[in-house]
Amino acid sequence: MIVSGFVISNLVINKREPYTRYIFRRFWRLYPVHIIGLTVALMLYYVGLPIYGVLDGAAWKYWLIGATMFHGLVPQEILVDGSRPLLQPNWSISVEFQFYLLAPTLIAVLYRPTALKTLASAAAIVSLMVVGIAQSRSFELFGISFTYPHNSHILYAFRYFMIGIASFLVVRQIPQGSHRLELKSATCVGVLLFLLVFICTKSVGIAVWAGFCPFLFVDVSESSISFKAGQMSYSVYLLHMIVVSLLSRFLPFDGWLHFFLLSAASVPLIALVSWHSYRFIEKPMIDFARQVSDHNTGRAAN
């Protein structure tokens, strides 16, 4: 979520796409692998190989909710673990999409504020962060309880996205010049971000990310290795549970030997599945979304 806030800030500020083009491309970036993973998990459930437990006889309900991409908004009271339909990691796909819907407006206000917009956005941001920091994961509306055991609702994940956005806006100020100058600037900014974020969140993990963020921007963003790894990262995250679960069921032995065999077999197989997922699902759909967007943009210009 922090990484997403950072990356989407970079995209929104530097590309300056119309909102419809931006959200169309973001949707097709997330949805194809998500719906295929969801469908594979549903099929495995019906052949007796469930990846993640669901209520008996309700697998199709989880699939339908997951197919909307708004499953993260489903509270426990409506469907137990509805925010994680059939696959554990996909709760975050919903909250990512919720953030994508709001991000351009939020970033525009923060990047080029006016007095009134700044006041309104500051009040909204502080309110949302207070709700998230409260960590109650539950609220009542008209006497009805809404419980979210994970950060699948944007209210509870908002502060993490904000840290990513703030990190980018600060890192953006790093002077561009010699590597040495960039490194010194990144070090100063990193220390300040670490201290500020730790004071606000009391979380060492989040503060470490914020402190490391400037170095990510200066060095790793130019690395071809990190770029290629990043291409597969979405499929790795979303599909790894399918690979691990199936391998775990069919590998022999128990205990530590099973663990080591599972680890040794999972890593290359996850990489293989993820690379093919990127090559044959993600990239074609990304290209499709770009072509449709370019065509519509060109037609509008004419």
- Is residue 212 in some structural domain? no
- Is residue 115 in some structural domain? yes
Q: Write the Ramachandran bin of 48: left for phi over 0, alpha for psi from -120 to 50, otherwise beta.
A: left
- Helices 204-218 and 154-171: crossing angle in degrees, nearest 10, is 40
- Is residue 249 in some structural domain? no
Cβ count within 10 A of residue 296: 14
Q: 48 lies in which domain range? A: 1-172
Alpha-carbon torsion (124, 151, 201, 97), positive or negative: negative
- Is residue 92 in some structural domain? yes
Convert the pLDDT of each residue in 221-271 to its tens digit.
445 555 666 778 889 889 988 998 898 888 877 788 888 888 888 888 998
**In this predicted structure, what is the pLDDT of residue 67?**
96
Main-chain dihedrals φ then ψ at residue 138, nearest 5 degrees: -155, 145
How many whole angstroms separate alpha carbon 299 and alpha carbon 302? 5
- Is residue 285 in some structural domain? no
- Is residue 281 in some structural domain? no
Main-chain dihedrals φ then ψ at residue 52, nearest 5 degrees: -145, 135
Facing residues of 146 across strands? 139
What's the number of domains the chain is made of?
1
- Is residue 149 in some structural domain? yes
Tens of pLDDT along the chain (302 residues) come to: 777 888 888 888 888 889 999 999 999 999 999 999 999 999 998 888 888 767 777 889 999 999 999 999 999 888 888 888 888 888 999 999 999 999 998 888 777 655 555 555 555 555 555 555 555 677 677 777 788 877 788 888 887 888 788 777 776 766 555 455 456 666 676 677 676 666 666 665 566 656 666 555 555 444 555 566 677 888 988 998 899 889 888 887 778 888 888 888 888 899 899 999 999 999 999 999 999 988 776 665 55
- Is residue 114 in some structural domain? yes
Convert the pLDDT of each residue in 73-93 to its tens digit.
999 888 888 888 888 888 999
